[in-house]
């Protein structure tokens, strides 16, 4: 049955590859392009270094995540229907297949809609008093509510409340699983968004990390998650072809928020919460550098790093964009392999 997952991946890849050029042209007609306004940080301060290195990206279509979101959902449902049509048993590790599918798709779509609103807000400037789109506190509150909802379903519907730590055993977190998983989902949602600053960076890292989770999902024989990752990977691979430097289309907040949150949810469903920050280690490095920088500005009234996140600091040091992306991809591959090793340890 392994071929069905490869078939799902290839079907998603070819559908996206055929549709993406007309979709890019459609984004141009809608004027969904990188805006020309100056960006500001979480404390409403100008970000001249970011603006300087991203000036050439102005006008590039934003919204590639929309196509992946739609096609992945459709391809996933088609293959779930084919399982039902040919009376194949849908194996899962949880009490309810419907609940597992509900959680994955709710994360994928709800965070995508939030990101879409933020993209539209940034481009068309519906509000002049915004933090890079939505006001930061409003965006955070919505993300928190969505993350809490998903975490509650993981705990209540799928009965997930344990965490396995290699060499130390399995720990029953009880109801404390909800705030821990909420933090993880919230963190990765924003981490992918922060990483999506260079052409091909976030999409490439995410592709490698999802391949790691795909291996894990196949070993534990979880059909819904395996099929979803396969459909998602196909779309990402097609998108990556057009997203590498110089990018013809960008992921946008629609993709970044959705993909980050769903990546975390997939890791939690697979029971690999401990391996998650290793497999997604580059995302952790990116958001950690930004958080440290923000805390330094807030409490020490000075920058800790010359620039943040990590990839922007490398640009400031004079590294060319393709060089940064390729090398961070390689680091990500190593982290995925290390995370797989940790994930399979008893």
Average pLDDT over residues 2-6: 86
**pLDDT value for 193:** 94
pLDDT tens, 185-231? 999 999 999 999 999 999 999 999 999 999 999 888 899 999 999 99
**pLDDT value for 280:** 97
* pLDDT band at residue 182 under the 50/70/90 scheme: very high
**272 neighbors 343 (Cβ within 8 angstroms):** yes
pLDDT, the chain, mean: 90
Per-residue CA distances from 184 to 54, 95, 147, 335 (Å): 29, 23, 9, 18
Q: Which residue has the higher pLDDT, 299 or 40?
A: 299
CA 2 to chain centre: 25
pLDDT > 60? residue 148 = yes
Q: What percent of the chain has pLDDT over 90?
A: 73
pLDDT > 80? residue 54 = no
* Terminal-to-terminal C-alpha distance of the chain: 27
pLDDT tens, 80-102? 999 989 888 899 989 999 999 99
**pLDDT value for 344:** 85
Average pLDDT over residues 101-107: 98
**pLDDT value for 55:** 77
pLDDT > 80? residue 35 = no
Q: Which residue has the higher pLDDT, 168 or 61?
A: 61
pLDDT tens, 115-142? 998 888 877 655 444 444 456 778 899 9
* pLDDT band at residue 45 under the 50/70/90 scheme: low
Four-residue CA torsion sign, 122, 28, 51, 235: positive
pLDDT > 50? residue 16 = yes
Q: What percent of the chain has pLDDT over 70?
A: 92
**pLDDT value for 126:** 52
pLDDT tens, 299-332? 888 899 999 999 999 999 999 999 999 999 999 9
pTM of the model: 0.94
- 41, with CB counted inside 10 A (0-12, 13-18, 19+), is middle
């Amino acid at each position: 049955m392994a071929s069905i997952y490869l078939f799902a991946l290839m079907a998603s890849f070819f559908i996206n590859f055929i549709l993406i050029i007309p979709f890019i042209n459609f984004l141009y007609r809608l004027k969904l392009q990188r805006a020309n306004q100056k960006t500001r940080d979480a404390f409403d301060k100008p970000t001249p270094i970011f603006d300087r290195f991203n000036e050439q990206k102005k006008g590039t279509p934003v919204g590639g995540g929309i196509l992946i979101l739609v096609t992945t959902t459709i391809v996933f449902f088609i293959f779930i229907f084919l399982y039902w049509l040919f009376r194949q048993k849908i194996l899962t590790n949880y009490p309810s297949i419907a609940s597992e599918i509900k959680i994955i798709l709710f994360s994928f779509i709800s965070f995508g809609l939030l990101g879409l609103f933020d993209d539209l807000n940034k481009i068309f400037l519906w509000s002049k008093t915004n933090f890079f789109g939505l006001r930061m506190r409003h965006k955070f509150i919505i993300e928190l509510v969505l993350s809490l909802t998903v975490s509650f379903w993981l705990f209540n519907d799928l009965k997930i409340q344990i965490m396995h730590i290699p060499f130390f055993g399995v720990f029953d977190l009880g109801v404390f699983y909800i705030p821990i998983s909420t933090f993880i989902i919230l963190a990765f949602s924003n981490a992918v968004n922060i990483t999506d600053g260079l052409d091909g960076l976030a999409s490439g890292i995410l592709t490698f990390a999802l391949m790691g989770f795909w291996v894990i999902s196949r070993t534990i024989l979880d059909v819904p998650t395996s099929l979803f990752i396969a459909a998602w990977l196909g779309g990402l691979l097609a998108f990556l072809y057009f997203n590498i430097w110089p990018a013809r289309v960008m992921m946008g907040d629609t993709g970044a928020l959705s993909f980050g949150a769903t990546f975390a949810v997939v890791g939690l469903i697979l029971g690999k919460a401990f391996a998650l920050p290793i497999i997604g280690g580059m995302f952790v490095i990116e958001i950690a550098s930004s958080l440290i920088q923000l805390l330094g500005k807030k409490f020490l009234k000075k920058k800790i790093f010359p620039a943040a996140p990590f990839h922007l600091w490398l640009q400031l040091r004079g590294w060319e964009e393709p060089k940064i992306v390729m090398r961070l991809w390689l680091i990500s591959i190593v982290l995925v392999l290390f995370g797989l090793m940790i994930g399979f340890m008893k």
